[in-house]
Structure 1
Amino acid sequence: MFERIAELAIRRSRLVLVVAAVVVALMGAVGAGAFGKLVDGGYSDPGSESSKAETAIDDKFGGETNLVLLVSAGEGRADTPGAERAGRALTADLKKEKHLENVMSYWDTGNPGLRSKDGGEAMVAAHVKGGDSASRDNAKEILDKYTGKREGGLDIRATGSTVVGQELGTQSGVDLVVAEAIAIPLTLLLLLFVFGSAVAALLPLAIAVIAIAGSLAELSLLGGVTSISITATNLTTALGLGLAIDYALLMVSRFREQLDAGAEVPDAVRHTVATAGRTVAFSAATVAIALAALAVFPMYFLRSFAYAGVGVVVIASVGTLFVMPALLNALGHRVNSGRMPWAKRKRAAASAARKPLWGRLAGTVMRRPALTALPVLAVLLVAASPLLGINFGTADERVLPEDAESRQVSELLRTNFDGDDNSAIHVVFSQSVGTSPLDAYAKGLSGLKGVVRVESSTGTYVEGTSKPAGPAGAALARPDAQRVNVVSSLTPKSEEAESLVKAVRAAEPPAGTAPLVGGTDADLVDSKDSISSNLPLAATLVALTTFILLFLFTGSVVHPLRALVLNGISLSAALGVVTWMFQDGHLAGVFGFTPQPMDTSMTVLMFCIAFGLSMDYEVFVTSRIKELHDQGESTGRAVVNGLGHTGGIITAAAAVLSVSFFAFGTAKISFMMMFGLGTGLAILLDAVAVRGILLPAAMRLLGRSAWYAPPFLRKFHARFGLSEGGPAPAPSPSAEPAAGTSQEKDSAGV
């Protein structure tokens, strides 16, 4: 297959480039409509109890509260005649809004829980109609109309899930623009530095355009038939550019190596496709597998990254395999045009050196594997140690900067009011419930630890005592349904709040009923359960398929195990560092975030992306080592020369790719900052610590056993394995002479 691709690029390079340009134009036209089809949200498991409770409340009661207006009476009190008149007028106006349902306020219900402890502020609670994206658009219309100063001396500010989501969306857009404004210029400068010529530096951008345009077209088509998170576009941009750089750097480096060795342009293209092209195909398969594992999770936020990630990987690899060889054939020696001055000095210095830097480092490590690897391993394990105390949560207003209005209002609700109705636990019965059983059930819930009050159609309960429900209670009853609100004083999404959810679910319901328990804290409990229950399947799929692919590539059962262990160590270290920062609060003052439990979805996403990119570099190195080993070099020499050839490529690719992720360290949304810093750190740790030190040390300790496979698997690989092939390479002036058989040199070591 690779031979045919090479011949196509050589004989029909102009045709390939013309077809590619037309396809990119078509994909761009389709992809332009993606942003109108993608949606926000998708963090909840649609099959969970909390999601079913939300659906039942939407169907029976018009929806949960997702908008809270904090109304300040200025210097007076909320129950003065003037404030009361203005408050009632505000409530009446809100009830007329077509986008609002279930509007309740202190002034029309008299519920003391809706008035602040000092009496100077009151709440108006409502449900904004529509799905995640539509409700936020509708909320913006309401906020533009009602927030700020109003007649009667009222000052209105807003919070609630719709407002938090709206501010998250706005801030995400700002953060993305800032990150790209930093990453793109730095990436271009790094490309010039790494490639050393202006023409070569533009080649990754061509592949990036193909990958990003194709992925957006894919998301646009999928967005018409299923829910796709708009956040997936961020991954498309960052990963598309990063993989384009990785793959282009590998292809261009091999092509230049062949030209420098005296090969003709067609022969250089053939050898580049047969070797580097094959590596790109395997690398893309490993990255795609890691990202495809996200599809096993029921939240469409994570599934969206599976669709976007697999799409961008496949399209980037196809573009690299078909378009890049055609570009290289068309350019020929002009690929080095516009050479930078430092590139000439670098080439002269490299030719004077017997081995490249990474080859010399590998040789040092393999002579003293324990002395060099153990300190690095110890540092990585210490960095991973915070994972022993990791806790998980979901995003709320605390991920926003401190000056965000919805966050400030939410904090005021928690401190100035007796319980926050916005974060109440909702219990819904999809059938009628008798007055006496409902009274006993609500009274029992009011005695649970942390509960401030329980609201139902039969009354308001505080520590087992009750008083009439008033007008608010009527909204909690339907002929075929009942609803109970459990309001607590606990910090939302804390361990205590999660325990309260479990206690409410464990409470004995009225006979013959099966209530559903929902709310923000219940959603957190269910999301954690959903991810934890699906995580073993996802991890097994990633490990098993990665093992199979690496076995087919290397013919060894040891290489896949070694790769999985080393990648696990480096990823654990990166996750440990971000846990130390974002959960435990270290450096919070420097980066300006609020410490809180690790965001469950973003942590899983970061792990899958970082794992895939780690395997990307694993394939880069292993492919060259195996190629040299198959040519007769000992394991030791193959590792030294393999890292000598690929170490600089991997380091350069990691440096450029990490810039795209580190740029998100400027984000004001804390989970985006965590994702960017954590992924960038994981990439650098893998490229330097694992590929530069732990891999050669492991190969030295394993020796010839690194290539071990049981006899029946060796036969299987001989028949079905995918080994390097293609034309013989042109002689390289930097290659070390090989003498004797690989078995003789394996016994001699390095």
Structure 2
Amino acid sequence: MRCPPFRAGRREDPLGGPGRGTDRPRKRLRAWRPWHSPRTTLLACALFCLVAIVAGVSGLDRLSTGGNTPDGSPAVRAGTILSERYGRSAPDLVLLLRDPAGNGDGQRVIDAARTVERHVRGKPGVTATASYLTARDPSFLSRDRRSTLVTVVLAGDEARKTDTARHLVPLLKTGRPGPEVALTATGPAWTRVETLERNRADLVRAELISAPLSALILLFVFRSLLAALLPVVSALVATAGTLAALRALTCVTEVSVYASSITSALGFGLAVDYGILMVSRFREESAAGAGPEAAITRSVRTAGRAVLVSAGIVATSLCALFVFPLGFLRSAAAAGIAVIVFSAAASVIVIPALLALGGRYIDRFDLFGPFRRRRCGAPPGDLAWRRAALAITRRPVVCALTAAAALTVMALPAAHAVLGPNSTEDLPRDTEARTTATAIRDDFLSAPGRDLVIGLPARTPRPDVERYARALSGLPDTAGVRTFTGHYRDGRKTAAPEPWDAAFSTPAGPVLTVTSRHAPADDRSAALVRHVRALHAPGEAHVVGEAAQNVDTLGAIRHSLPWGFAIAASASLLLMTLFTRSLLVPVKALVMACWSLAATLGLLVYGFQDGHLQDAGHQGSLSAVALVFLLMTAYALSVDYEVFLVARIREEYLASGDNTAAVVAGMQRTGRLITAAALVFAAAMASPATSATVPLQLTGLGLACAVLLDATVVRGVLVPALMTLAGGANWWLPGRRGTRPVKPVQQEEVLS
């Protein structure tokens, strides 16, 4: 087949309607053209970046690891009641004192605990402490009596507790309770400290890895040093804005450290993607003979419009996260929307200003110039995508069935996906918080995290308390029950009350402690919580514990998930319909996005839940909170790439009037760009994917897989095949004639 000449010539602008040429810009662009005063624009952006970076870095210490419990859930309400009425608060710090060379009487570690507790009580920010001596509770001693615990309750909000733990634990280690006794820490406050330190390092590594790697990919794609650097500069401006937005959000709400790490990488990837679209369109218009200003104007009117529509779809899709009553997801939604705004703004403000200064040199500094040859007037990458498009449009049924079969096979493991809570197992194996929690779980009969604390109404009769305690001890997976009436196990009383058990009788009412046989994140502990709540109690029972919080979190996610997807789907359908003036294309985009999500979920289940990625953390379940954020973001990105492709196909259809030819031309002009955008985004996700914490690994790897699948199998094969089969129905809209071509041509003229 004779290769037709590559024509990047000027055509009537379809967005301006018939008879309105591209040389006459729209009136709304005349009022605001940053490329008319590029130096002023860039100077303002530089000052903004400087202020944003200073403010953003100072706010990293205000990030938290909380927000994983639903607001107003039964466990949260019960925790507030037990803290205020019963004086029972969950410890924020759990200190483990271990004497490996002890003789087994426990005296040495008990004396060391006395010293530690005396030092801790006098420190600011500490409200209460407990040890074996003060509580007289045997559960504070390990089975071999060589270890003991000291629990500490801290004052203030989560940020203040984290700051107190950051200064308190190293101080206690420096003072050392004894030459033979080792002190390590765990608990929510110390877990947050170690998580913040790990993720701060991940955030720095994200920028150090993503920026040069993205520049190399762009250099390979654009074959010009200047063209490759422009999207990276735009992405750095967006990243600075993201840091400032996170700092502002910490003043009004709790912002999770996981959300900050992911949204920073997300902003970098999106900004580079949008920059690729703008720079490539400018180069195309320049190659067609347009001057620098005209090329910039046309790029903003076409590619810039696609960027704004894409950003609007991604932002509205992330708004669905506000449906979930979890602080983590809501802060992630707010941070993600801010990221998208800065990414789109940088693309339509910074890049046009940079092009106004150096656009005429956009093709210089070509490091691959000696090795590059043009064929038929077009880059080799465009010709390769043209050949692929011709092959797909000639056999659309075979290509569609093959791509659909591949996605279906990848989606099969998603059928047995299991959602689980976050836990200390999400931390790296070498972190102190995780190793200490594991030692407490293995060496102690009752670990603080395995206990369910139940508060009963005041003046509950003693016989009713005893009957309730026996019933609790007879539940499956209950290791034992303790209260002021004694100790219970397997449905019967096993020991009379000890003197220290009098603390279970408070003026607000009796308190019972139910110890689970399993870790709080275990499904059997969740089943125990449901059995305890369903058991008839002598009055209203307030159930508190880590396992109870996990049950409420998973329940809230399951309840809100359908509503969240309904909002995201409705918003994307509406915006896509307004953008494409079509009904079939938005519906197809929704189906393709869901199919791509199913394939991504299947890969994650295979790697994380089924344990084929041995270094990916604990096996058996997927972090529910991280998975919801991943799926919502991946859905938005999938529709985002659909906009890039459909926008160009629609433009070609308006110019030619032939659907198949428009599909071929659209793939030829965007295939290389979408592939480059996906590679850059995957590179941006490399840092969270290699993070030390499992939720970040899950989210980073999941988003990277989602965009690569979307750019290759979905946008590269399935979408063009289906659009070829649909023909003119792609552009039908009820109640009107839909998208009408400007100048129909014969198919043979384009496909010859």
If the length of structure 2 is used for normalisation, what is the TM-score? 0.90
State the shift of 1:319 in Å. 2.6
The 8 Å contact of residues 86 and 152 in structure 1, kept in 2 or not, is answered as no
Aligned length: 724
State the shift of 1:439 in Å. 2.7
What is aligned with 2:537?
509
Residues 10 and 107 (structure 1 numbering): CA distance in 2 closer, same or farther, change over 3 Å?
Answer: closer
Match for residue 184 of structure 1 among 211, 236, 239: 211
Q: Are 2:231 and 1:207 equivalent residues in the alignment?
A: no
User: 2: distance between equivalents of 1:166 and 1:187?
Assistant: 31
1:356 is paired with a residue whose SS is helix
Residues 367 and 116 (structure 1 numbering): CA distance in 2 closer, same or farther, change over 3 Å?
Answer: same
Amino acid at match of 1:457: F
State the shift of 1:63 in Å. 1.6
Amino acid at match of 2:652: L
After TM superposition, the structure 1 stretch with the greater mean CA deviation from structure 2, 461-470 or 681-690, is 461-470
Q: Are 2:147 and 1:121 equivalent residues in the alignment?
A: yes
1:599-618 equivalences under 5 Å are 599-618=623-642
Residues 39 and 416 (structure 1 numbering): CA distance in 2 closer, same or farther, change over 3 Å?
Answer: closer
The 8 Å contact of residues 68 and 422 in structure 1, kept in 2 or not, is answered as no
What is aligned with 2:99?
73
Q: Deviations over 1:459-493 (max 9, x none)?
A: 33223205344354344343124432211111321
2:145 is paired with a residue whose SS is coil
2:66 is paired with a residue whose SS is coil
Q: Are 2:338 and 1:311 equivalent residues in the alignment?
A: yes
Unaligned runs of 5+ in 2: 1-24
After TM superposition, the structure 1 stretch with the greater mean CA deviation from structure 2, 467-476 or 519-528, is 467-476
State the shift of 1:584 in Å. 0.9
After TM superposition, the structure 1 stretch with the greater mean CA deviation from structure 2, 339-348 or 661-670, is 339-348
Q: Are 2:566 and 1:540 equivalent residues in the alignment?
A: yes
Q: Identity of paired residues, percent?
A: 33
After TM superposition, the structure 1 stretch with the greater mean CA deviation from structure 2, 144-153 or 544-553, is 144-153
Match for residue 64 of structure 2 among 29, 39, 45: 39
Unaligned runs of 5+ in 1: 729-737
State the shift of 1:213 in Å. 2.6
Q: CA RMSD in A?
A: 2.9
What is aligned with 2:577?
551
2:372 is paired with a residue whose SS is helix
Q: Deviations over 1:680-707 (max 9, x none)?
A: 1111000011110001111122222222
User: 1: distance between equivalents of 2:499 and 2:119?
Assistant: 18
What is aligned with 1:258?
285
Residues 3 and 367 (structure 1 numbering): CA distance in 2 closer, same or farther, change over 3 Å?
Answer: farther
The 8 Å contact of residues 112 and 181 in structure 2, kept in 1 or not, is answered as yes
State the shift of 1:134 in Å. 2.1
Q: Deviations over 1:119-145 (max 9, x none)?
A: 333333332333323222222333223
User: 2: distance between equivalents of 1:204 and 1:118?
Assistant: 61
The 8 Å contact of residues 559 and 706 in structure 1, kept in 2 or not, is answered as yes
1:330-729 equivalences under 5 Å are 330-342=357-369, 345=372, 347=374, 351=378, 356-429=383-456, 431-463=458-490, 464-510=492-538, 513-588=539-614, 591=615, 593-711=617-735, 714=736
Residues 65 and 430 (structure 1 numbering): CA distance in 2 closer, same or farther, change over 3 Å?
Answer: farther
The 8 Å contact of residues 232 and 305 in structure 1, kept in 2 or not, is answered as yes
State the shift of 1:525 in Å. 0.7
1:453 is paired with a residue whose SS is strand
Amino acid at match of 2:340: V
The 8 Å contact of residues 597 and 635 in structure 2, kept in 1 or not, is answered as yes
State the shift of 1:15 in Å. 4.2
Residues 98 and 696 (structure 1 numbering): CA distance in 2 closer, same or farther, change over 3 Å?
Answer: same
State the shift of 1:308 in Å. 1.1
What is aligned with 2:178?
151
User: 2: distance between equivalents of 1:478 and 1:747?
Assistant: 89
User: 2: distance between equivalents of 1:37 and 1:68?
Assistant: 23
The 8 Å contact of residues 27 and 217 in structure 1, kept in 2 or not, is answered as yes
After TM superposition, the structure 1 stretch with the greater mean CA deviation from structure 2, 155-164 or 22-31, is 22-31
User: 2: distance between equivalents of 1:81 and 1:11?
Assistant: 79
1:79 is paired with a residue whose SS is coil
Amino acid at match of 1:219: L
State the shift of 1:671 in Å. 1.9
What is aligned with 1:734?
none
User: 1: distance between equivalents of 2:214 and 2:382?
Assistant: 28
Residues 81 and 118 (structure 1 numbering): CA distance in 2 closer, same or farther, change over 3 Å?
Answer: closer
The 8 Å contact of residues 635 and 749 in structure 1, kept in 2 or not, is answered as no
If the length of structure 1 is used for normalisation, what is the TM-score? 0.90
Amino acid at match of 1:640: V
Residues 656 and 96 (structure 1 numbering): CA distance in 2 closer, same or farther, change over 3 Å?
Answer: same
State the shift of 1:624 in Å. 0.3
Match for residue 56 of structure 1 among 69, 81, 93: 81
Residues 520 and 569 (structure 1 numbering): CA distance in 2 closer, same or farther, change over 3 Å?
Answer: same
1:70 is paired with a residue whose SS is strand
What is aligned with 1:735?
none
After TM superposition, the structure 1 stretch with the greater mean CA deviation from structure 2, 318-327 or 249-258, is 318-327
The 8 Å contact of residues 565 and 632 in structure 2, kept in 1 or not, is answered as no
User: 2: distance between equivalents of 1:610 and 1:426?
Assistant: 39
Residues 367 and 145 (structure 1 numbering): CA distance in 2 closer, same or farther, change over 3 Å?
Answer: same
After TM superposition, the structure 1 stretch with the greater mean CA deviation from structure 2, 150-159 or 3-12, is 3-12
User: 1: distance between equivalents of 2:111 and 2:51?
Assistant: 60
Match for residue 320 of structure 2 among 293, 306, 312: 293
Residues 95 and 656 (structure 1 numbering): CA distance in 2 closer, same or farther, change over 3 Å?
Answer: same
Match for residue 740 of structure 1 among 732, 742, 745: 745
User: 1: distance between equivalents of 2:303 and 2:543?
Assistant: 55
State the shift of 1:509 in Å. 1.2
The 8 Å contact of residues 636 and 746 in structure 1, kept in 2 or not, is answered as no
Q: Deviations over 1:84-140 (max 9, x none)?
A: 444444444444545444433334444333332333333333323333232222223
State the shift of 1:252 in Å. 1.0
What is aligned with 1:132?
158
Residues 683 and 417 (structure 1 numbering): CA distance in 2 closer, same or farther, change over 3 Å?
Answer: same
State the shift of 1:16 in Å. 3.6
After TM superposition, the structure 1 stretch with the greater mean CA deviation from structure 2, 645-654 or 662-671, is 662-671
State the shift of 1:425 in Å. 1.4
The 8 Å contact of residues 179 and 666 in structure 1, kept in 2 or not, is answered as no
State the shift of 1:431 in Å. 4.6
State the shift of 1:414 in Å. 2.3
What is aligned with 1:281?
308
2:151 is paired with a residue whose SS is strand
Residues 475 and 166 (structure 1 numbering): CA distance in 2 closer, same or farther, change over 3 Å?
Answer: farther
What is aligned with 1:268?
295
Amino acid at match of 2:694: S
Amino acid at match of 1:208: A
